[in-house]
Amino acid sequence: MDFSKYKFVVSSGCSYGRLADSTFNAFNFLIDGERLRDEYGQFDWLDIDGDKVISINLSLGSQGSDWQSDSLIYVVDKLFKLGIKPENIFCLVEWSQWHRVTFHPPHHYGLDLKLLDFSETIKNNEFEFYIVQTNNGLNNHEINNELNFFRDYLKSCRSITTPFNVGKIDDRIYMIPRHSSIDTFKKLGSDYELFCEHIQKVENEFPLENKLKTYLDNILRTQYFLEKNNLKYNFLFMQSTLSEWSFNRDVGIIQHPLFNTGNYPYIENEDKWVPNPNFNPINNPESDIENVMPEIKSKIDQINFNNFWFHESERFRKGGIDEWVLDNLKETGYINITSRKTIGQIVPNYGEHPNMMAYIFLWNKVSLNCDFIKVKPEFEKFMWDKYWEDYNYNGVSKNNITLSKQEWNKIIKNPKLI
């Protein structure tokens, strides 16, 4: 195959790694997508420089920085072996939570790895392949020769049985104990149950400082690979990772609101969700991780922050996707309406998965170094207007993008209405 006319967007992340999928597939995940497409009145919502752009997204729910680094490097290296030039590749990594420690069960442990069922390669929904091109839209329904080629060529996959958050690259398996229920492993037999108990114990005893060092090492390893090969890239965080740290002298521990203080925007009180009176974040440079843990400063100094996107505001410092959504999409920013009778998460809290429109609004902000595909400003404005139409609607939802504030107020006071 001749790939000279192709450009590639290669992404990795966790379940928050949806920038490419949402942006290149803008109307297909919306209930009223066809109506909104007609109302927008233009076939193309993207400015594309080139004939075709292939999006390869390796984001896998619950996975950590080991997966994000390894999967991206693996795929880019495989593209190089096809003769694809660096200038035709853009890389994007959404770095997930720093405390997600990965375990790789060795084959000599004797676990029956066939029980995880890796028979399907990258065809699973978590690994999204799209082709997008001017005047031809996005074809994610018909399996064409180009996409089939890459599905067969790239031997990354995830388990299609339980647990679903297990990744695989060639013969290396990626497990996250923090997101793996021991009850799930019990179903696979006593060997898996004992293995899960073991790795969960090891993770709990793994020092916080070592988890952070591993996390930063994966960022730096990926950065060095990309820059050595003259690749354009951007990084972002799922949540604020490098700031909001503190040292509690009374109990002698390092604290972070997303790790061990549980300081979230909303809390549950008598079966109702109410604003957390203790949630009052402030953009404070003194809370940067290198100020609280100076032993980590040498790693921080090596990171090329010119290629990082952060959300900054009066409330948040070095924020990620969650902080941007909390500041910009108000109460309904975590609602995804998947059918006319099904509403996903309702509470605007960390880790609850933002409305898919957030990723479209973020593409141009985050992917500054991608010079061959951008969201058209008029399309971004069109979707912003539709989002706020829903928010201010005197009813449930006008466009089925999100709920109205009026409906949200009803549900938050009585979650049984969901």
Per-residue pLDDT averaged across 206-215, rounded?
Answer: 92
Q: Provide the pLDDT for residue 125.
A: 47
Query: 1 lies in a domain?
Result: no
Six-digit token string for 133: 């091109």
Per-residue pLDDT averaged across 74-78, rounded?
Answer: 96
Question: How many CB atoms neighbour CB 385 within 10 A?
Answer: 10
Query: 13 lies in a domain?
Result: yes
The 10s digit of each residue's pLDDT in 227-245 is 999 999 999 999 999 999 9
What 3-state class would DSSP assign to 328?
helix
Per-residue pLDDT averaged across 89-110, rounded?
Answer: 91
Q: Provide the pLDDT for residue 119.
A: 66
Q: Provide the pLDDT for residue 417.
A: 53
How far apart are the C-alpha atoms of 38 and 36, rounded to whole Å? 5
The band of 55, judged by pLDDT with boundaries at 50, 70 and 90, is: very high
Of the two residues 201 and 304, the one the predictor is more confident about is 304
Per-residue pLDDT averaged across 250-274, rounded?
Answer: 84
Question: How many CB atoms neighbour CB 142 within 10 A?
Answer: 6
Query: 176 lies in a domain?
Result: yes
For Cα atoms 151, 143, 159, give the angle at the middle one, nearest 5 degrees. 40
Per-residue pLDDT averaged across 144-161, rounded?
Answer: 77
Query: 20 lies in a domain?
Result: yes
Of the two residues 123 and 362, the one the predictor is more confident about is 362
Of the two residues 310 and 185, the one the predictor is more confident about is 310
pTM: 0.93
What 3-state class would DSSP assign to 117?
coil
User: Would you say residue 340 has pLDDT above 70?
Assistant: no
User: Would you say residue 164 has pLDDT above 50?
Assistant: yes
Query: 215 lies in a domain?
Result: yes
Query: 329 lies in a domain?
Result: yes
Domain count, the chain: 1
User: Would you say residue 147 has pLDDT above 90?
Assistant: no
Q: Provide the pLDDT for residue 9.
A: 97
Six-digit token string for 87: 């200038």
The band of 269, judged by pLDDT with boundaries at 50, 70 and 90, is: confident
What range does the domain containing 165 cover? 6-417
Query: 188 lies in a domain?
Result: yes
The band of 343, judged by pLDDT with boundaries at 50, 70 and 90, is: low
User: Would you say residue 213 has pLDDT above 70?
Assistant: yes
Q: Provide the pLDDT for residue 358.
A: 97
Q: Provide the pLDDT for residue 170.
A: 87
CB distance 58 to 93 below 8 Å: no
User: Would you say residue 341 has pLDDT above 60?
Assistant: no
What's the number of CA atoms in the CB half-sphere (13 Å) around residue 252? 0
Per-residue pLDDT averaged across 379-399, rounded?
Answer: 97
Weakest mean pLDDT among 71-80, 177-186, 228-237, 240-249: 177-186
Query: 270 lies in a domain?
Result: yes
Q: Provide the pLDDT for residue 126.
A: 47
Q: Provide the pLDDT for residue 17.
A: 95
User: Would you say residue 163 has pLDDT above 80?
Assistant: no
Six-digit token string for 140: 């994610």
- The DSSP line for 174-209 is EB-GGG--HHHHHTT-HHHHHHHHHHHHHHHHS-HH
Weakest mean pLDDT among 26-30, 267-271, 320-324: 267-271
